[in-house]
Amino acid sequence: MRHLLASASVLATRRLAPSVSLGSLAKRLTLCMVLLAISGCGPRPPDGDVVVLVSLDGFRWDYMDKAATPNLDRLATRGVRAERLIPSFPTKTFPNHYTIVTGLYPAHHGIIANNMWDEGFQSRFTLSDREEVGNGRWWGGEPIWVTAQQAEMKTAVLFWPGSEAPIKGMRPTQWANYDSEVSNEERVMRVLGWLDLPEADRPTFVATYLSLVDDAGHRYGPNAPETALAIEEADRILGLLMEGIAAAPLEDRVNIIVVSDHGMTELSGEKVVVLDEYVDLSRINVVDWAPVLALAPDPDYLDEAFANLQGIEGIEVFRKENLPTRYHYDGSDRITTLVGVMDEGWSGVSSDFLQSQPTAFEGATHGFANDVESMHALFVAAGPAFRSGMVVEPFENVHIYNLMAAILGLDPAPNDGNLETVRHMLQ
């Protein structure tokens, strides 16, 4: 009976969703009514768990205290919340999203930054280069959707970094090219539509991505009222997803994991390092700018550039082989010979940039070292696999891959995480 009621309420909910086939739902409802008459159509026998992974880009660990977030609060009460989720170095969007789904530190999965150069490919990767973003050659390791598909499961991934590229020759079963114009409601409806597919086609791993909180954070800063509004809107969207799942026949099997990739901190016009005051920028290829500067000086200028960039307030410049081990930023040829790490809130620029973009320091950003607390992120999860009403200590995002693999009953690929760090969250 519960199944029937749930199906009916799914129908009611789906009236909002043009992308979901009412015909197939009606067919299933009718079939269930017939079966009920014959045999007392109970709930489907319990099958494996489903994971729905949602990223709220740039949702800082303390944002739940900065605005009304009734849906996240409810999820946390029902399940597990981490005091903070510790992102990987550097605290940028692509490296961290791909770490979350592979369990590998950025230097070990290859997406070491949002902007990078590969000497072997003689090619540059940037987020706006659709071709390179969708080119599997950049993406190492094994994302959870590939692990799941190798075990004959279906997956559906909407806009998660990496999902547009064939990795190990595979894309998610369902995926789409990134389109920032697709509304957040539409993203939720597509996820609900996938969860509503017939059992044989239904994905067991579903992921989606919302950028509104990061967008507002950059523009207005982490403490601005506009950012609080974006936090509330993200929570409302999450509420739509939670309601839709609660109305779906498989609701008892769904684990919702809400994460973010990093936090946010204010910039300041007082905290600016102008690089060409110290080095000759015509002899350095700057592959990526602050907060982590990827500097590739001409080989015969390397030692001099390194020496000139020491002892400057607001920036610490390392040779790649001497980066602090806690960053795990090692083993990738894509890391430049010098890496400059800005102190929290500091910007590294050229004098040309400073002149042409004088307002660049009015907003906020992320990308600083991952031990800077304002870079820390969100983790809230609930569902049948999770214990209830639990708050856990901060943990690193490399462990989430193993956590999801355990919930889905998958054998994880080799990775940098350790299930033991997070196992206590599980029932």
What, of ligand AMP, Zn ion, none, does residue 196 touch, CB below 5 to 8 Å by kind? none
CB of 130 to ligand AMP, least distance (A): 7
261 lies in the binding site for Zn ion (CB under 5 A) = yes
93 lies in the binding site for Zn ion (CB under 5 A) = yes
Choose among 82, 84, 90: nearest CA to 61. 84
Catalytic residue set? 93
Q: Which of 49, 214, 251, 266 binds ligand AMP (CB under 6 A)?
A: 214
Q: Give the footprint of ligand AMP on residues 89-108 (CB under 6 A).
A: 92-93
214 lies in the binding site for Zn ion (CB under 5 A) = yes
CB of 176 to ligand AMP, least distance (A): 10
Q: Which two tokens stand for residue 57?
A: 């880009």
- Give the burial class of 231: count Cβ atoms within 10 A of its Cβ; 0-12 exposed, 13-18 middle, 19 or more buried: buried
Cα 75 to Cα 98: distance, rounded to the nearest angstrom:
24
What, of ligand AMP, Zn ion, none, does residue 178 touch, CB below 5 to 8 Å by kind? ligand AMP
Cα 7 to Cα 4: distance, rounded to the nearest angstrom:
5
CA 426 to each of CA 256, 387, 394, 415: distance values in angstroms, whole numbers, following the listed order: 13, 5, 16, 20
Do the beta carbons of residue 210 and residue 58 sit within 8 Å?
A: no
Question: How many CB atoms lie under 10 A from the CB of residue 90?
Answer: 28
Q: In what helix (H) or strand (E) does residue 155 lie, and over which residues does it extend?
A: strand 155-158
Q: Which of 99, 115, 184, 211 binds ligand AMP (CB under 6 A)?
A: 211
114 lies in the binding site for ligand AMP (CB under 6 A) = yes
Do the beta carbons of residue 290 and residue 346 sit within 8 Å?
A: yes
CB of 69 to ligand AMP, least distance (A): 21
266 lies in the binding site for Zn ion (CB under 5 A) = no
- Between 292 and 392, name the residue whose CB sits nearer to ligand AMP: 292
Choose among 382, 365, 362: nearest CA to 374. 365
- Between 10 and 257, name the residue whose CB sits nearer to Zn ion: 257
Choose among 395, 422, 417, 396: nearest CA to 407. 422
Binding mask 122-161 for ligand AMP (x = CB under 6 A): -----x-----x-------------------------x-x
Chain residues in the site for Zn ion (CB under 5 A)? 57-58, 93, 214, 261
Chain residues in the site for ligand AMP (CB under 6 A)? 57, 92-93, 114, 127, 133, 159, 161, 178, 180, 211, 214-215
